[in-house]
Structure 1
């Protein structure tokens, strides 16, 4: 599905964390979420979920006002410093999917 530059962008990400790094990653994600709330007006939703049966399995759901807001998130210092530099090195798997909002209930 093609999306326009004004379409709300939804991001779904699944991560697998190296065992022993779960608490560290959650601490860093709390810092990232706080920075997103404070510094990214184009972010609409930013949630982090932990699989109750497997603490190494995380799911993130995010919404951005448009493609520019998502790009601003990716380019932000907090994303680069917290996620790219500190979290990604301790992941064993990282899947990220992007969707354009088609309908709401």
Structure 2
């Protein structure tokens, strides 16, 4: 079994006037995601200079935990179905810690 931790860095550009809606939706998504087996943390940040830029930083015990997250009902229903349509762009980077 792969035990290498996986970290996710996501940069979202929210459509003008939609940031408060996205933040409210992400409160629920973060709460549910933090309770998943294998989740180490789930943090949502907002840029100090551009309120429409959100950065998500997530940690997972391994690849299986990332897949569990991506296949969860709350990820599909909240993030994919409700949040993604409110974004101008979405960049997601999966990372492994080097040191």
TM-score under structure 2 normalisation? 0.95
Structure 1 residue runs of 5 or longer lacking an equivalent are none
For each residue in 1:53-102, what CA deviation from the matched residue of structure 2 results, as whole angstroms up to 9, or x when unmatched?
A: 11100001001000000000000000000000000011101000011122
**2:48 — aligned with what?**
52
Is 2:95 the counterpart of 1:88?
Answer: no
Is 2:68 the counterpart of 1:61?
Answer: no
Question: Which of these residues, 70, 74, 77, is aligned with residue 78 of structure 1?
Answer: 74
Distance in 1 (alpha carbons) for counterparts of 2:94 and 2:2? 14
Residues 34, 41 of structure 2: 8 Å contact kept: no
What is the root-mean-square deviation of aligned Cα atoms in Å?
A: 1.1
SS for the counterpart of 2:69 is helix
Give the length in aligned residue pairs.
Answer: 99
Distance in 2 (alpha carbons) for counterparts of 1:45 and 1:12? 12
Structure 2 residue runs of 5 or longer lacking an equivalent are none
